[in-house]
Structure 1
């Protein structure tokens, strides 16, 4: 039995993994998906002091409180920042890192460095009364949709789990200075529909592709789960 710890991206919550968790559990594995501070069942904790460091602490707290080891740590989108930093701090607990259409930072980088467009979102927020919170991205015409989701029923459901993201999550930098973390195996799962330009991946790291939009856990949960199960 493997343990999967699934970390959602910006604006989302643990519910974004609802279609994946039963598939991993049905294959005999343990699958956990906490909501990061300010999201889902922890949305009441949203505030201007919540940042990337807060979310890193959230994941480490789950690892320590449940004494998890040999974990397959999965991060979607923004959570690529989170899982990278978690692995830097507690590499002995992580067996594999999986970046699901995720940001892949270098040491000292913030979300703004990895995805410069986010500075525009911060600038927009600064012009409002709620300067510290960034609302979810708007739905666009297909194939972009709402985070890559275009089915009307799925879009309607997705809207119910989205919430604002604190500006500090995009401004804080990661520290990736632990040599032990570099020994952790890494897999990247790229969603190819509407895909942005990506950073080069080391030849030593595995790359898989899914022919769908950004939120593949919503649009292709079976296919995503099949890939994750290969790492068990």
Structure 2
């Protein structure tokens, strides 16, 4: 039995994995879908203003401590790739697998800000214009999204090198939005790295909702097969902003 820790991307909470969680649980695995600090409904402005990438990595580490997890599969979507990388580097060998689901795979000294495209940096700046510390969700997506702590997009990651010791590292590239994705160069880089396995899914960025069976199949170690056929939705978090089934918030 595997233990999955699912970390959402920017503006999202545990609900972003709602279609995938039951598929993993049905296969007999433990699943913890997280809502990170600053993205919870009861977080006050001060919490959002002081939350950064370290805060989110600590959320994951606290969950590992609290649930006594010693062999975790960390799955990070989009910005969540920054979080699982930081957490795995500090987890003292408690992470056995990393899955970056159309997500950033940072190197030491990089940030979400430095790793993304100018289009996304402009969206971060525009989204934070009102408060200076919280990035509003782009218009037109899932109404459950919340303002995202700006500092977590800006903070550079510091990696001690233990991340490279995680036995299994995978990157899932969503190819259905190739004219907008910030991950094309990353895919090329990881394909040339023997330490990584790269999978392609013909979906938009929001693969968990477009093709949950295909995502679950990859997480369970199988091929995506015919389940990888996308629906008509191609979620772009900027152009269209959209276990336990209970929320595993990192308090």
Normalising by structure 2, report the TM-score: 0.79
Per-residue deviation, 1:91: 4.0
Aligned pairs, number: 211
State which drifts further: 204-213 or 99-108: 204-213
Per-residue deviation, 1:120: 1.7
The residue aligned with 2:208 is: 217
Per-residue deviation, 1:123: 3.0
Following the alignment from structure 2 to structure 1, what is the Cα–Cα distance between the partners of residues 103 and 75?
10
Counterparts in 2 of 1:58 and 1:120: CA distance versus 1, 3 Å: same
Report if aligned partners of 1:56, 1:83 keep a CA contact under 8 Å in 2. Answer: yes
Match of 1:198 among 185, 188, 209: 185
Match of 1:161 among 144, 162, 174: 144
1:55-94 paired onto structure 2 within 5 Å: 55-94=56-95
Report if aligned partners of 1:15, 1:40 keep a CA contact under 8 Å in 2. Answer: no
Following the alignment from structure 1 to structure 2, what is the Cα–Cα distance between the partners of residues 166 and 223?
30
Following the alignment from structure 1 to structure 2, what is the Cα–Cα distance between the partners of residues 208 and 91?
27
Counterparts in 2 of 1:13 and 1:42: CA distance versus 1, 3 Å: farther
Normalising by structure 1, report the TM-score: 0.85
Per-residue deviation, 1:42: 5.0
Report if aligned partners of 1:23, 1:225 keep a CA contact under 8 Å in 2. Answer: yes
The residue aligned with 1:230 is: 221
Is 2:153 aligned against 1:170?
yes
Is 2:163 aligned against 1:181?
yes
Counterparts in 2 of 1:198 and 1:40: CA distance versus 1, 3 Å: farther
The residue aligned with 2:102 is: 101
Is 2:195 aligned against 1:208?
no
State which drifts further: 114-123 or 51-60: 114-123
1:108-127 paired onto structure 2 within 5 Å: 108-117=109-118, 118-125=120-127
Task: Mark the runs of 5 or more structure 2 residues left unpaired by the alignment.
Answer: 223-251
Following the alignment from structure 1 to structure 2, what is the Cα–Cα distance between the partners of residues 227 and 170?
27
Q: Over the residues paired in the alignment, what is the CA RMSD in angstroms?
A: 1.7
The residue aligned with 1:37 is: 37
Report if aligned partners of 1:192, 1:211 keep a CA contact under 8 Å in 2. Answer: yes
Report if aligned partners of 1:16, 1:161 keep a CA contact under 8 Å in 2. Answer: no
Counterparts in 2 of 1:20 and 1:41: CA distance versus 1, 3 Å: farther
SS in 2 for 1:198: helix
Following the alignment from structure 2 to structure 1, what is the Cα–Cα distance between the partners of residues 172 and 54?
24
Per-residue deviation, 1:209: 1.1
Following the alignment from structure 1 to structure 2, what is the Cα–Cα distance between the partners of residues 198 and 9?
19
Report if aligned partners of 1:81, 1:105 keep a CA contact under 8 Å in 2. Answer: yes
SS in 2 for 1:92: coil
Counterparts in 2 of 1:174 and 1:42: CA distance versus 1, 3 Å: farther
Task: Mark the runs of 5 or more structure 1 residues left unpaired by the alignment.
Answer: 140-145, 147-158
